[in-house]
Amino acid sequence: MEGTHTVIGRRAPRVDAMEQTTGRVKYVDDETLPGMLVGRHLASTHAHAVISSIDTSRAESLEGVRAVITGADLPITYGILPISQDENALAIDRVRYIGEPVAAVAAVDVATAQRALDLIDVRYEPLDEVVTLDDGLADDFPLIHGEGLGQNLHRSAALEFGDVDEGLGAADLVREDVFLFRGNTHAALETHAALASFSGEGKLTLRSSTQVPHYVHRTLEKVLELPSGRIRVIAPHVGGGFGGKTDPFSHEITACKLSMVTGQPVKITLSREEVFYAHRGRHPVLMWVKTGFESNGRITAMHFRTYLDGGAYGSYGVATLYYTGALQTSTYRIPNYRFEGVRVFTNKPACGPKRGHGTPQPRFALECQLDKAAEDLGLDPIAIRHVNAVEPDSMTVNHLRITSCGLTECIDRVVEASGFSAKHGQLPRGRGVGFAVGAYMSGAGLPIYWNDMPQSEVQIKVDRGGGVTVYSMAADIGQGSTSMLATVVAERLGLDPPDMNMVTADTDLTPVDLGSYSSRVTFMAGNAALEAADKVRSRVFAAVADKLEIEPEDLVAEHGRIEMGADRGSGMSWPDGVRLAIATGGPLIESGSYRSPDLAGPYRGSGVGISPAYSYSACVVELDCDPETGMVSVDRVWLAHDIGKAINPMLAEGQIEGGVYMGLGEALFEDHAFRGTLHRGPSFLDYKTPTTLDMPPVECIIVESDDPEGPFGAKEVGQGPLLPVIPAVANAIHDALGVRIDETPFTPDRIVAAMRDVSKGGTGRIGPDETPGFEFPPLTHVEPPIGFSTGIHAS
């Protein structure tokens, strides 16, 4: 790795920034095609019912209606995970949540489409609704997927690494705590949209606001029974994702089907209400945590149980379930660890992945419990983190490979910047500081469909004038992946990022990238781009060196020129070098790819949590909390994040600030709440997200641990910074008022209830006390990695 860079590490705008600010950027809903029809879905009004009949004849005969389709037209099931193929684009025989699409129409305009929906007669025979986690675990409710009565279990897991009973037995302090993380949703500002066009030659093009064009491509191939070569999926600018556009969705499939039926382009843009039903947001998770500590705070063993309310379909849920148990060990050395988890189906919109995917919930529980244990042991909250912090280049008991790790530096720098130690326990009543840490993956180590092919491929084509075009399927959802790729390539070729021509997220034009999920793009697509750029550079250098009769190693590429070492003006311009390379070697088109090393551990479920690198974060929140009203006002947030290397510090800060913002929203008010099975308020009026008035200043501290495998040493920043924010708020509320809100969000009513409890002589804790009496499957005992010491006095 070179010591100095010209564009890596530079604060710079996105490569498309002016297009965005002048309103010229086109999102899917901004596009129209000649003859385009409007598509709309009819939503189920029942949470759980048999569809006894659907009569579409009145709708079909309405003037201006071109097609009406139902579940019978799309009989093939699908789902993002190969093991959860349980969805249909339109409900067949049964509806499973209120808002589920049951029919779709294509019409000449919105008003006609809307009238047509009103003319579709659906008859339902209601079934008992599975409303709560307890309902799902009970054995006398109708099966949501299946016939008859029984437990609505989706999946359960039970793993033990080391000997937890022995570890707990040797502890000086054992704590048992119960926490509830309520669900919330992404609420990206752009509602999902899909524009499908089926050509006379039998080729289908879908423009969709998706994070994963590759997986949408695969799903369309399966459901529509078209060869993949006849399907083109394009994700143009995507107006925010956060995990909410990572599944294949009904409207993507129905838009295609309606276009195939009518022979005309069809656009379906979801309403804001429909987006709340499409959901795939943060799972509500009930958690029970039993942890043993030595008197110095060192963890001896941990037993972690999670109960997930998954909603009506699988989505990513099997992965989510394992994620609720996978990353506890990524920050703290836990010598003996047991994880038991269960996900149930209920008659509500399906949960899925949201920023941090299955890890913010257990992180909330873990970081709050550590603060409680520190208090029990008379330690300060920083000391208990320090004594347990994982080391770089180590293995965890559950077989995660830790390489670069800036956790300790993150802790120290955020504590210093915030003055935490002088404030904690010292501020006036009603004011407090809270601390927490987190870690996240730089890309899931395994693809969703296991195979031996690369997870990212990038192609670079250079024209005869020196123009560089970079092709990648990575979808820019606002996180800046296109700018990242341009910067990586520009650095290697001695050019400027805005000069790169970027072709992204188009399955016809670009080589595969699995998509913008699991914080994988910088690490994986970045490495693929680096390899491709190096091949281009090598060819140009070889041709130039030959011409100048020197060695390629003596050349450098910078400022649009190929120079002999530091001697400015000694070589030739980039375009001249390119022409030499083309003259000697033919077209200057090169590709690169990335595939994660094989990191899976020796057990089923080990595919979840492994990653080629982990980012680390530490957070301090300072806030005011009114003891009378329970109102929380966050004064300032400090967040240190180990990103490995910031390819563009300004865009990295934007991810940190956005993660802090989203974490504060989840901590303080976001709640995807239901009255029974009916969404409590599928609008921004009812689902509150933070505004400018709620947002405190954020102090970003970028820590660079220089990852040995990341592109230029880089790791992720899109998801990790959210993780410590929520528990840091909870810990700050405790510091301010002495109450413990063990249930998100930390709303004024919960804080006031906690204060009332204190005034009546209680402990001031709000949250569930018990977990269901569910019997987990027998534990799978897994040997810790070779050389891993489970002894509780290991250093």
Partner 1 sequence: MTEQAITIPINGEEHRLLVSSNRTLLEVLRWDLDMTGTKHGCDLGECGACTVLLDGHPVLACLTLACQVDGRDVTTIEGLSDGRVPDALQTTFAELGAAQCGYCTPGMILSARSLLNDNTDPTTDEINQALSGNLCRCTGYVKIIDAVHLAASRSSD
Binding site for partner 1 (CB under 8 A): 13-14, 17-18, 20-27, 29-30, 32, 186-191, 237-242, 269, 271-272, 477-480, 650-651, 653-654, 657-662, 683-685, 689-693, 695, 697-698
Shortest Å distance, C-beta 236 to partner 1: 12
Burial of 390 (0-12, 13-18, 19+ CB in 10 A): buried
Exposure pattern of 106-124 as b/e (b: 16+ CB <10 Å)? bbbeeebbebbbebbebeb
Helix (H) or strand (E) holding 142: strand 141-142
What is the rounded CA–CA span in Å between residue 599 and residue 613?
A: 11
Residue matched to tokens 């019409």: 107
How many C-beta atoms lie closer than 10 Å to residue 61's C-beta? 11
Round the CA-based radius of gyration of the chain to a whole number and report it: 27
Comparing CB distances to partner 1, the nearer of 31 and 134 is 31
Q: Is 665 helix (H, G, I), strand (E, B) or coil?
A: helix
Q: Which two tokens stand for residue 781?
A: 């005992």
Residue matched to tokens 């097609």: 67
Burial of 428 (0-12, 13-18, 19+ CB in 10 A): exposed
CA of residue 400 relative to chain centroid, distance: 19
What is the bridge-based pairing of β-strands 153-161 and 780-782? parallel
The answer for residues whose C-beta is within 8 angstroms of residue 245's C-beta and 6 or more apart is: 188, 192, 209, 210, 211, 212, 238, 477
- Identify residue 160 by its one-letter amino acid code: E
What is the rounded CA–CA span in Å between residue 213 and residue 623?
A: 41
Residue matched to tokens 């909870």: 730
- Identify residue 393 by its one-letter amino acid code: D
Beta-strand runs (E) in 389-536: 394-395, 401-402, 431-441, 456-462, 468-472, 501-504
CA of residue 73 relative to chain centroid, distance: 32
What is the bridge-based pairing of β-strands 698-703 and 740-741? unpaired
CA of residue 778 relative to chain centroid, distance: 31
Shortest Å distance, C-beta 309 to partner 1: 24
Closest CA to 341 of 179, 157, 183: 157
Q: Please provide residue 691's backbone torsions phi and psi, each rounded to the nearest 5 degrees.
A: -105, 180
Residue 781 has what DSSP assignment? E
Q: Contact at 8 Å (CB) between 765 and 739?
A: yes
Helix (H) or strand (E) holding 492: helix 481-493
Q: Which two tokens stand for residue 286?
A: 């009930």
DSSP code string of 196-215:
EEE-TTS-EEEEE--S-HHH
What is the rounded CA–CA span in Å between residue 459 and residue 241?
A: 25
DSSP code string of 365-418:
HHHHHHHHHHHHHT--HHHHHHHHBPPSSEE-TT--EE-S--HHHHHHHHHHHH
Comparing CB distances to partner 1, the nearer of 661 and 774 is 661
What is the rounded CA–CA span in Å between residue 743 and residue 766?
A: 7
Query: C-alpha distances in angstroms, 254 versus 5, 12, 74, 267, 655?
Result: 48, 40, 8, 10, 34
Q: Which two tokens stand for residue 257?
A: 């089907």
- Identify residue 415 by its one-letter amino acid code: V
